[in-house]
Amino acid sequence: MSTLVKHIKTIVTIMLTIVFFSGCKNDISVVNQLFKDQTAPDEISKNLHLYISQGGKVTHEFKTPLLHTYRTPTKSYQECPEGVEVITYDESQQKISKLSALYGINHEDDKIMEAKNNVVITNFQTGEIIETEHLIWDVEKKMIYSNTQIKQTKSDGSIYMGKKFESDESLSKYTIYNPQLMFYEDE
């Protein structure tokens, strides 16, 4: 009788194995649906406030309400979909300038940072304000530029419009191309 029980157990085991493996097939549409959202960030940071230093001195201050970090085999980048603010400091820890925008993105591999939508640069040393819709910071070249129209408001109230903008990365020395005086308020 024990031989019969062994055969029955073996047959049942084989039958269950066949049923199990025949019922398990990958429906490609189900698999694709599971991995559909490949655009989800790898990391999310909220209310981020960073101080970046060099040689023990703060060079930049970075703030954003939301930071998404994406890493793929071909590219890595951080995105600030709810805005960004960057403050630059000089050697004596005094604020030189502030850049704010409604959107920011840092392309890590290319070492390019972009600010878009209502970009405002304030130079604390001169009191000048520059406004544009798109600004690019090339980290390797240590330059900031815009190929979109810019508006410059000087400390005396005069307003200039220009077609392009180039600056050093501290935003303290810059050139506005094709400037045109639009308004001047004489006190």
Q: Strand 143-146 relative to strand 159-162: parallel, antiparallel, unpaired?
A: unpaired
| Of 172, 175, 174, residue with least CA distance to 91 | 172
**The domain 37-183 is classified under which CATH number: 3.40.50.720, 3.40.190.170, 3.40.50.2300, 2.60.450.10?**
2.60.450.10
End-to-end CA distance of the chain: 114
Q: What is the pLDDT of residues 98-126, one digit of tens each?
A: 999 999 999 988 889 999 999 999 989 88
Q: What is the pLDDT of residues 41-94, one digit of tens each?
A: 888 889 999 998 888 888 888 999 999 999 888 888 999 999 999 988 888 889
- So where are the chain's domains? 37-183
Q: Strand 159-162 relative to strand 129-138: parallel, antiparallel, unpaired?
A: unpaired
